[in-house]
Chain A
Amino acid sequence: MEPMSLPGLERLLDVCERLNLGLKISPPAREPLRAGSLLEGHPLDPLLASVYARLGQVVFAYKLMGLSLMQSNDDEHRLEANNKLWRENHWDELGMPVIVFAGEVYTYATVPSLADEWGRQPVVEVNTYELDGLHVLPVASNVDRFFDNYSRYLEAVVASPRYQEAGENDLHFPWHMGELLARDERLVELLRAGRFEPLMKNVDEQERQWAAKVMGARE
């Protein structure tokens, strides 16, 4: 399968460079993971395979404590090791498999069972810190859209008054980017159809209201 094009990833790389937010990149494996190859028994998202064909590991916007893609190349197999841990520790509670691939404070994962006709899986955020269980929020309809969203988040951070005055970031992804996520039609479609409901068992009232706003529901 030809690698899929990644305009969202390109945009994110460009934003990090243009706004001087920092980028750390490691080269890909000589034989990178292919689309459809199995990670803990589930197919790797084709967009993610395209990413790993290009890059072995990235830290985006490290000057802001940014987003990092889990390493998978000839030096380290953290992507594979982390997914093994997640299968052992979290899949039961989640009720379905997820494939983790990136993280900020919380972790980002694709959901194999919600893939579209091209095999592209939506992305969710999983918060493993809370004492009442895993908190999951939907974030993007596919991996490349996720990168595109994140690039726009970074632009919003840099344009914010707080950052302009004092170099401080008081915006969070995806928490403060609800309106941006609401423009992702397929994401909204999946949300409205209740496809994320089984994953969102532990969301609190504040998170539920946030999701409602993304869906465009009345409060």
Chain B
Amino acid sequence: MVGHTVQVLLPFTEGIGPRTVRLVLRVEHRLGAAEARGRVESVRVERLASALTPEQGWYHSMHEAILLRWREGVYEGSAWLAQKGVEEAALWFAVGIAGKGLGFFATKGLEWLPRALSREPETAAGWLRNALKRLPQQEQASFEQLWSKVALEGEQALSRGEREALRSLFVRLEQLVQQPLDGDLKRELRREARKYYAKLYPQFAEALHIRNSELPIHHRRQLEHAHLFPDEDINAGANLAMVQKYVHDKISSLWGKFRKARPILVPPRR
């Protein structure tokens, strides 16, 4: 009985903090039978007494829903995260960061990150997903690994070295989002913009695939100016428009004239 109970409870031990799990067992024993028979009728996580913000509530619910679906096995947190894909992972990270409160990073004097991440979850996740692309692949992997640990096991699970590394990555992100995008990143963001647009407007997905470069996705706020608005997601849906190529060429040509007339300034310190 104890063994079976442990099996049922195991998925709930995935590091989301202390929990009370209410288990209802039905057990039968017939007179003369050598063994009792039993089964788990239901399993439920008791809600925490302390008040949660809507984002925290959402985050915890999502976490629990995912764990409940995986009663058969226990996944390593990072393996689970990798399987969720970049988009869901970003959503998960963004809300988790907001949920934990940015006080963790406030001492480093971050300005743009807290502003970007304090927006509603989907927007913050979009920003984070695109901001993380600024980091080299290895640093992206470090960020994901360290933040997964915080999110799944709690801040206290980080060693001093890990805590410092995570803080440094946040500082690095803050610096990078204020730098102009290079060609490599622009390519990546343009590709991502197409994917995202096709998702937002599935009725255009086929045309976007078939006609590809003939049907550009135009950034209303140009990628060249993205670093002047570091807390905004340059690939947010509101910034994207599908246009015929000749329209895109005309718009680019106008921006080109603007660019020649005015030098690009760095954002003023606020």
User: Given the complex, which residues of A lie within 8 Å of B222, measured CB to CB?
Assistant: 131
Residue with the highest number of chain A CB atoms closer than 10 Å, among B195, B246, B249: B249
Known: A89-B246, A131-B252, A132-B256. A65 touches B191 (CB 8 A): yes
Residue with the highest number of chain A CB atoms closer than 10 Å, among B83, B245, B248, B259: B245
Q: Quick check: A89 and B188 within 8 Å, CB to CB?
A: no
Q: How would you classify the secondary structure of chain B's contact residues: helix, strand, loop or mixed?
A: helix
- A212 and B167 alpha carbons, distance in the complex (Å): 37
Residue with the highest number of chain A CB atoms closer than 10 Å, among B82, B195, B222, B223: B82
Known: A85-B246, A131-B256. A175 touches B187 (CB 8 A): yes
User: Given the complex, which residues of A lie within 8 Å of B255, measured CB to CB?
Assistant: 131
- A65 and B215 alpha carbons, distance in the complex (Å): 13
Q: Quick check: A104 and B212 within 8 Å, CB to CB?
A: yes
Count residues of A near B (Cβ-Cβ below 8 Å): 39
Q: Quick check: B190 and A105 within 8 Å, CB to CB?
A: yes
Segment 85-117 of B: residues with Cβ below 8 Å from A:
85-86
Q: Quick check: A59 and B252 within 8 Å, CB to CB?
A: no
Count residues of B near A (Cβ-Cβ below 8 Å): 36
Which of the candidate stretches A31-39, A42-50, A160-168, A188-196 sits at the interface with the other chain? A160-168
Binding site for A on B (CB under 8 A): 82-86, 137, 182-184, 186-188, 190-191, 194-195, 198, 208-214, 216, 222-224, 245-246, 248-249, 252, 255-256, 259
Binding site for B on A (CB under 8 A): 24, 57, 59, 62, 65-68, 70-71, 78, 82, 85, 89-90, 102-107, 128-133, 135, 162, 165-168, 170, 172, 175, 204, 206-207
30 inter-chain pairs at a CB distance below 8 angstroms, sorted by A residue, are A59-B210, A59-B212, A62-B209, A65-B209, A67-B212, A68-B212, A82-B245, A85-B245, A89-B246, A89-B249, A104-B212, A104-B213, A105-B187, A105-B212, A105-B213, A128-B213, A128-B216, A128-B252, A129-B186, A129-B216, A129-B248, A129-B252, A130-B186, A131-B224, A131-B259, A166-B85, A172-B184, A172-B187, A204-B183, A207-B183
